[in-house]
Amino acid sequence: MIITLTSFFHSRLVLTLFLLLILIAACGSKGKVAGKYQAEGKDLPGQVETILELKANGDGAWKSGDEEISFSWYVKGSEIRINTKGGGVIVGDLERDAIHLTLPGNKKMIFRKNRLN
């Protein structure tokens, strides 16, 4: 079987375009999810405001009172995956303007997107 130079480059071009489309789709979902989310509910840690900030570049911060913990995140289907600096992964469900997280110890939190930021 002889592969011509033209068919080789054509195959590479198709593969490159396919990977580019996947990358664009992945970045697009991060852009839709990115923003600031405020925890709601009565079980907030120490009854202080808790904010989840998701940046479009995949960086994030969990802010509770004067404390701030940085992490990275990505979207997989209808889930958000939060990668902690310690190597743990917290998986949450995405629903329109809300994120439902189950934290260690089976504690559930809901974060609503702040439309002003």
Which candidate, 76, 93, 85, places its Cα nearest to that of 37? 93
Spatial distance between the Cα atoms of 86 and 10, rounded to a whole number of angstroms: 44
> What's the gap between Cα 74 and its chain centre?
3
The β-bridge partners of 92 are 80, 101
Question: What is the arithmetic mean of pLDDT over 91-106?
Answer: 91
CATH numbers and ranges of domains, the chain: 5-113 (2.40.128.50)
Tens digits of per-residue pLDDT, 36-76? 999 987 655 556 889 999 999 999 999 998 999 999 999 99
Question: What per-residue confidence (pLDDT) applies to 21?
Answer: 40
pLDDT at 28 over 60: no
Rounded to whole angstroms, the Cα distance separating 74 from 54 reads: 9
pLDDT at 23: 41
